[in-house]
Amino acid sequence: MNVIFFLVMRVICFNKCFMLIWMYLICAWSNDEDPNAPFFYKGYYHLFYQYNPFSAVWGLIRWGHAVSRDLINWEHLPGAALYPDEWYDINGAWSGSATKMQEGGAPVILYTGSTNVFVQVTNMAVPKDPSDPLLREWKKVPENPIMMPEGIINSSSFRDPTTAWLGSDDIWRVLVGNKRDKQKRGMALLYKSKDFKKWVKAKHPLHSAKHFGMWECPDFYPVSLHGNDDLDASVEGPFLKHVLKNSLDDSKVDYYTVGKYFPKLERYVPDNGSVEGPNGLRYDYGKFYASKTFYDDNKGRRILWGWINESDSVADDITKGWASVQGIPRIVRLDSSSRSSLIQWPVSEVEALRGTSVTKHNVVLKRGSVMKIDGLNSGAAQVDVEVEFKLDNKVEDHVYETVEDMDVFTNAQKLCSRGKNVEGTAQGFGLMVLASDDLRERSVVSFRFFKQKSDDRIRKVALCVDQSRSSLDTDMDKTSYGGFVNLSPHQKSLSLRVLVDHSIIESFAEGGKTCITSRSYPMLAVNENAHLFVFNNGDSNVIIRRLTAWHMKEARQQYSSIL
């Protein structure tokens, strides 16, 4: 797929760029999308990204390249790792993945090329000098293209190869995203190779599903049933499940299923009850797309990257000179309590940016109360907040909002969009971030409780992000987002972590069981004028069992030259 970059910089006063917490954003020429081919090699983390150096809009895409010792402080290498300069990629070097063919060995990149006749093919690139820990230069192999859409395969929707895995039969396998137009069927095509150069398509896709269109940026990897052991892509055995993630080109959401991989049958089967498509499980229920995981063999963990796009206009992006960022890298693993969904959590390295902090314990938030969290240096434009709320009663005895419409009741985003009055009063309880002192601007992250009118035994809890009052600027996407949170009926507390970086809000409920990323473009709540509030607009008291908010320092960034 096309791609835009990553970075550790993100704020947004339209004509300026600001250093953000953990990623560097180039203040001109940049247009950054999908994270590509992350891996760890000789002491460095590597991240590639789709990049147009000439404009903040889509164009002739190449691969940018950044390296880091710690996933937080990055150096952006000069030049481009992959230029569109051959017949098989002359119209764009698009998304792909990296594979290490042996433990500790140099990675191999598989990527999508758009040919001189706009056919999408899969190509390979290898390091020119594997002894260079920064892998500054890459060369394309003479065998390119190594995979081509043949027969009835849609040649304009054949892209984004995954990380390959080695089977117990010593055969390499890789997936390529595709679609079949008549059924709007998304497909994860399976290819096999003995030598990693000559690839043959399997007789059938690893998996497919009707009605949802093109499967971009597929990802396929094992997860441990124990929930705390992260696994390399080639691991097999009875103690694991597999995850298949697809990015839906039609709806621009990433969804995933958890299921069983049958190597001999060359099939993946989602668990019973798994829902395909945008109404299924999602990494993130906000602005989060074209995601990519990799196995970090440095620390034995699987790390997830996701692309966060803009909520302002294309004209604003051109004025700013850049568009889009990457989210904070997250650890992803199977939820050991359910074994049917994933949990995600920011990598621990981000905590090195924590500075001064404010802590509250056992504070009663009465119904209708709002409390400002004072004491953060330089305001709350860059802040990491962890809070645990204790309910007066068990979850099953809490006061729930009544919902009549069944269609709305099954859709968390629609539920979270209901019930706001003309003043934009936030519902439920939670945090107001990037808020002006007078609360005319605020982004609201809250827990809300819903029940069906026809049968009040059917209940749901949602994490909601209300953007309706996020900016006085009316020319903004202020979509509200929502995702359901699975809780025990007897549970009496809920936890929330929110990372704020000027324009980015990343929210993690219940240890990362539900995640929402959103963009906010305040005009008043900027830098030292951005504030943090905690509130309760529910129908019963809530106790802040503990709340800690850290001011976040800026990461060190180095940028060598224009790509």
What is the distance between the alpha carbons of residues 414 and 403, in angstroms, rounded to a whole number? 11
What is each CA distance from 321 to 30, 32, 288, 476, 554, in whole angstroms?
A: 6, 11, 21, 18, 21
32 is annotated as an active-site residue: yes
What's the burial of 305, exposed, middle or buried (CB within 10 Å: 0-12/13-18/19+)? buried
CA contacts within 13 A on the Cβ side of 261: 24
What is the distance between the alpha carbons of residues 62 and 48, in angstroms, rounded to a whole number? 10
What is the distance between the alpha carbons of residues 490 and 401, in angstroms, rounded to a whole number? 19
- Beta-carbon count within 10 A of 419 CB: 17
Instruction: Tell me which residue has tokens 């809490």.
Output: 398
Contact 62, 563 (CB under 8 A): yes
What is each CA distance from 516 to 36, 282, 308, 445, 519, in whole angstroms?
A: 22, 10, 11, 9, 10
Q: Which two tokens stand for residue 156?
A: 């304009």
Q: Which two tokens stand for residue 53?
A: 């150096």
* 290 contacts: CB under 8 Å, gap ≥ 6: 1, 3, 33, 34, 35, 95, 216, 217, 247, 254, 306, 307
What is the distance between the alpha carbons of residues 508 and 21, in angstroms, rounded to a whole number? 18
Q: Which two tokens stand for residue 133?
A: 């820990």
Ordered alpha helix ranges (H), 74-157 = none
Degrees (nearest 5) of the Cα angle 209, 213, 216? 95
What is each CA distance from 495 to 434, 511, 557, in whole angstroms?
A: 20, 7, 32
Grouping H, G, I as helix, E, B as strand and the rest as coil, residue 563 is: coil
Nearest CA-CA partner of 480 in 511, 452, 505, 449: 505
Grouping H, G, I as helix, E, B as strand and the rest as coil, residue 187 is: strand
Contact 257, 274 (CB under 8 A): yes
DSSP code at position 439: S
- Beta-carbon count within 10 A of 415 CB: 23
Contact 382, 374 (CB under 8 A): no
* 545 contacts: CB under 8 Å, gap ≥ 6: 361, 362, 388, 389, 390, 493
* 312 contacts: CB under 8 Å, gap ≥ 6: 12, 14, 475, 476, 477, 521
Instruction: Using the CB atoms, write b or e for 167-183: b if 16+ within 10 Å.
Output: eeeeebbbbbbbbbeee
Residues belonging to the active site: 32
